[in-house]
Amino acid sequence: MASHRKPVSVVTGGAGFLGSHLTDRLLAEGHRVIAIDNLLTGSVANIEHLAGHSDYRFIRHDVTNYIFLSGEVDFVFHFASPASPIDYLEHPIPTLKVGALGTHNALGLAKAKKARFLLASTSEVYGDPLVHPQKEEYWGNVNPIGPRGVYDEAKRYAEALTMAYHRSHGVDTKIVRIFNTYGPRMRLHDGRVVPAFIGQALNGEPITLFGDGSQTRSFCFVKDLIDGIYRLMMSATHEPVNIGNPREMTIRQFAEEIIRLTGARSPIIQKPLPVDDPKVRQPDISKARSLLGWEPKVDFEDGIRQTIEYFRSRV
């Protein structure tokens, strides 16, 4: 990279929850950012604060089609994909296409520009895990033909393609496996448990617990997650790295925490558990600790309070 200019980063999915927070961090680090998004699940509201920023450019484009960019690029962050269970159930084929064709185009861009590449992968590659907590060495337990298969297998294919570009074409690639993340800019109605429960609590509606609520998740605040991703891109490693918060809780405990922190009087009601809903999930972050010197810093209550504040003005 020439030293006389700012580094240039491309963020696919740049108008999404994570893509927009990543963009803010990159701009703060002195990068120029080219964000690409087709706005299928991303939102202009997430990036409107960047309008007119001299180091920021937004391109509305579906990365399952060829990505043409003139000029130099130093880093490609591939974040484009529907990411909430109801989104990928509603858009199964675009989810498969962006994981496969979109990853191919983003890798092709990185190869052509001699840029570093980072794939946003997911804890969903572990499926309904039989190993707990999940280490990167675990190969997973995924139902390829179930409703979640469109996302899980697209991301597994994307990981395989990323490693193939690394091994065959020498592209400097990174893979982050992202565990449940929350924070401002999640969509209120994206169906994920954090906006769902906070929205219901703030509206005084019943909290919809799927199943008996004994399934577990481990929630990471977005600021911590983005820090881990930035460190990974700047590191020398090529192997997948889990980034997430190991603080595990049952979904019932999570519902009770949301009721406590919002002061809501909402009752908890049970709904059927979605097909193939993982029973447990907790990242083993030993690799992130040793390779990146990273671990989450934001306390659960702090992060949730910030998220509640964000949703308060939007319900």
Q: Which of these segments, 10-18, 235-243, 256-264, 273-281, binds ligand UDP (CB under 6 A)?
A: 273-281
Q: How far is the CB of 273 from ligand UDP (least distance, A)?
A: 6
Dihedral sign of CA atoms 265, 270, 276, 278 in order: positive
Is 180 a binder of ligand UDP (CB under 6 A)? Answer: yes
Near ligand UDP by CB under 6 A: residue from 25, 131, 274, 291? 274
C-alpha gyration radius of the chain? 19
Is 205 a binder of ligand UDP (CB under 6 A)? Answer: no
Of 204, 217, 54, 203, the residue nearest 122 (C-alpha):
217
Is 138 a binder of ligand UDP (CB under 6 A)? Answer: no
Q: Which is nearer to ligand UDP, 73 or 209 (CB)?
A: 209
Applying the rule CB under 6 A, the residues between 247 and 266 that interact with ligand UDP are 251
**Which is catalytic among the residues 88, 126, 151, 182?**
151
Q: How far is the CB of 108 from ligand UDP (least distance, A)?
A: 29
Q: Provide the pairing of β-strand 216-218 with 248-250.
A: antiparallel
Is 33 a binder of ligand UDP (CB under 6 A)? Answer: no
- Which residues are 181's β-sheet partners? 220
- Measured CA to CA, the distance from residue 65 to residue 288 in angstroms comes to 33
Looking at the chain, list the stretches that DSSP marks H as alpha helix, in order from N- to C-terminal side: 17-28, 85-90, 92-97, 103-113, 149-169, 193-202, 222-233, 251-262, 286-292, 300-312
Of 192, 206, 302, 290, the residue nearest 247 (C-alpha):
302
Q: How far is the CB of 136 from ligand UDP (least distance, A)?
A: 18
Q: How far is the CB of 181 from ligand UDP (least distance, A)?
A: 10
Enter the tokens of residue 130. 């039989």
Near ligand UDP by CB under 6 A: residue from 196, 198, 201, 304? 196
Q: How far is the CB of 313 from ligand UDP (least distance, A)?
A: 21
Is 208 a binder of ligand UDP (CB under 6 A)? Answer: yes
Q: Which of these segments, 68-76, 109-117, 270-278, 291-299, binds ligand UDP (CB under 6 A)?
A: 270-278
3-state DSSP call for residue 218? strand
Q: Which is nearer to ligand UDP, 186 or 233 (CB)?
A: 186
Dihedral sign of CA atoms 252, 257, 260, 265 in order: negative
Near ligand UDP by CB under 6 A: residue from 32, 217, 223, 287? 217
- Measured CA to CA, the distance from residue 247 to residue 122 in angstroms comes to 17
Is 172 a binder of ligand UDP (CB under 6 A)? Answer: no
Q: Position 262: which residue type?
A: T
151 is catalytic: yes
Enter the tokens of residue 261. 């922190």
What residue has token string 């696919």?
12
x-or-dash pattern for ligand UDP, window 60-89, by CB under 6 A? ------------------------xx----
Residues near ligand UDP, by CB under 6 A: 84-85, 180, 191-193, 196, 208-210, 215, 217, 251, 273-274, 277
Residues involved in catalysis:
151
